[in-house]
């Protein structure tokens, strides 16, 4: 088990040193402790410079050097993930060149994905049309906004779609919420979403039958629990929908079932019945579940969900310093658990923990990847598996109360 993550030897909490004390202090300690001791504002300047450098690298490797040809158009591992990162850079710096570049990349992804039957935000057409519409809105380009919204509404959903986030119904619904969040409520009508919510709830109740969990889903024959393919992701998106009271009870009951059936370690199984307590990822395990429970605490104002989200956060602190950098199953994604808990509780300890994971990445990731001690990712520049996700996290650290897990939290 220990080979999946680095043993976390960072202090559980370290107060920032006043600026005047940092110079002599720095000489006596290792570079990671020095970074962790920096006043937050000083650290942010360091992270921001690094983030913008990384963004340039990601753009060069996934866009410039490819001759602007699209091999993989998706947010998850492809060029649309670069557009999403560049859009984030625009949100932070307000540099209009970033917005222009984002739209240029989305346009290429639009052409490349016209015949795609994939429909979600992370891995399908909805991502292209939703990000295109939102970027066009910020650019004040009405014609383009109209184009992408029209394309979005023309996406055809097969009745045989699974329900999970990466390829299924909630992955499409998330794109609707993203559009409504940025462009305005009702841009995508709730009637459109309602039909899908009905199908999701019906499928969940049917598979749950008389089991102890009110809703259950299957993807490729397995009843997954995590954010990418299972319950955590589906409940997360459902909480953004207008639900009837009995549907709300089913969502709450499903989350309670998960809490009651977590591993003794506090981690969560990747699928129903699994006894393998190994994965501490956003996609499978405590991090993705913690984000969903944090959302449930916020939406339902329920203290038990908050406590469970914090318990899962402890697992992430102890076992979440993964040997990968991305947001799906890497350190960057796990840092977002602490940012969500910080937003919810306002406790400085959680901001420290997010900072600790970010500082670990800043201080060591590239060296560890070069030395082969850390995996650079199958798509090393991508948003979900590579350094694109790390750049995104560093940009989010600048305004931590506004930080949101990319393409997942609104």
328 binds Zn ion (CB under 5 A): yes
216 binds Zn ion (CB under 5 A): no
d(CA 306, CA 319) in angstroms, rounded, equals 20
| Least separation in angstroms between CB 281 and Zn ion | 5
Choice between 268 and 305, CB closer to Zn ion: 268
| Least separation in angstroms between CB 330 and Zn ion | 8
Selected range binding Zn ion among 91-99, 133-141, 321-329, 386-394, rule: CB under 5 A: 321-329
395 binds Zn ion (CB under 5 A): no
Alpha-carbon 104 to chain mean position: 24
310 binds Zn ion (CB under 5 A): no
329 binds Zn ion (CB under 5 A): yes
Q: Is 25 exposed, middle or buried (0-12, 13-18, 19+ CB in 10 A)?
A: middle
Binding residue per annotation — 109? no
Choice between 77 and 107, CB closer to Zn ion: 77
Listing DSSP states for 109-174 in one string gives HHHHHTT----STTTSHHHHHHHHHHHHHHHT-HHHHHHHHHHHHT----TT---STTTSHHHHHH
Alpha-carbon 315 to chain mean position: 18
| Least separation in angstroms between CB 389 and Zn ion | 11
Binding residue per annotation — 102? no
| Least separation in angstroms between CB 124 and Zn ion | 17
d(CA 164, CA 248) in angstroms, rounded, equals 18
- CB-based contact 102:83 (threshold 8 Å): yes
Choice between 386 and 400, CB closer to Zn ion: 386
d(CA 237, CA 69) in angstroms, rounded, equals 32
- Residue 222, phi then psi, degrees to nearest 5: -125, 145
**Per-residue binding letters, 253-292, with Zn ion (x by CB under 5 A):** ----------------------------x-x---------
Q: How many CA atoms, within 13 angstroms, populate the side-chain half-sphere of residue 173?
A: 29
Selected range binding Zn ion among 130-138, 214-222, 309-317, 327-335, rule: CB under 5 A: 327-335
Known binding residues for Zn(2+) are 283, 328-329
Instruction: List residues binding Zn ion (CB under 5 A).
Output: 281, 283, 328-329
């Amino acid at each position: 088990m220990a080979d999946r993550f680095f043993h976390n030897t960072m202090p559980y909490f370290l107060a920032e040193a006043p600026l005047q004390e940092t110079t002599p202090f720095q000489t006596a300690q290792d570079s990671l402790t020095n970074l962790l001791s920096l006043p937050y504002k000083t650290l942010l300047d360091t992270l921001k410079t690094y983030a913008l450098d990384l963004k340039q690298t990601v753009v060069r490797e996934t866009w410039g050097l490819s001759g602007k040809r699209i091999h993989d158009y998706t947010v998850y591992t492809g060029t649309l993930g670069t557009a999403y990162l560049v859009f984030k850079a625009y949100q932070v710096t307000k540099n209009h060149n970033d917005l222009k570049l984002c739209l240029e990349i989305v346009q290429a992804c639009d052409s490349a994905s016209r015949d795609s039957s994939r429909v979600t935000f992370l891995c399908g057409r909805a991502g292209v049309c939703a990000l295109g519409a939102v970027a066009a809105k910020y650019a004040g380009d009405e014609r383009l906004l109209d184009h992408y919204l029209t394309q979005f509404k023309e996406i055809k959903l097969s009745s045989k779609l699974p329900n999970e986030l990466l390829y299924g119904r909630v992955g499409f619904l998330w794109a609707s919420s993203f559009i409504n969040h940025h462009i305005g409520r009702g841009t995508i009508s709730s009637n459109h979403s309602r039909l899908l919510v009905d199908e999701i709830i019906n499928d969940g109740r049917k598979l749950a039958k008389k089991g102890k969990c009110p809703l259950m889903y299957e993807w490729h024959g397995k009843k997954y629990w995590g954010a990418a393919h299972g319950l955590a992701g589906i409940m997360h998106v459902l909480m953004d929908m207008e639900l009837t009271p009995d549907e709300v009870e089913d969502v709450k009951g499903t989350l309670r079932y998960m809490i009651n059936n977590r591993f003794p370690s506090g981690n969560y199984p990747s699928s129903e019945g699994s006894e393998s307590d190994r994965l501490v990822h956003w996609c499978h395990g405590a991090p993705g579940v913690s984000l969903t429970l944090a959302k449930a605490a916020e939406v339902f104002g329920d203290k038990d969900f908050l406590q469970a989200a914090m318990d899962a956060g402890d697992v992430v602190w102890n076992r979440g310093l993964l040997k990968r950098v991305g947001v799906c199953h890497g350190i960057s994604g796990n840092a977002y658990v602490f940012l969500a808990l910080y937003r919810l509780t306002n406790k400085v300890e959680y901001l420290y923990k997010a900072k600790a994971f970010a500082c670990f990445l800043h201080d060591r990731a590239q060296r560890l990847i070069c030395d082969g001690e850390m995996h650079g990712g199958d798509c090393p520049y991508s948003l979900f598996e590579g350094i694109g996700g790390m750049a995104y996290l560093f940009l989010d650290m600048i305004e931590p109360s506004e930080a949101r897990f990319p393409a997942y939290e609104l």
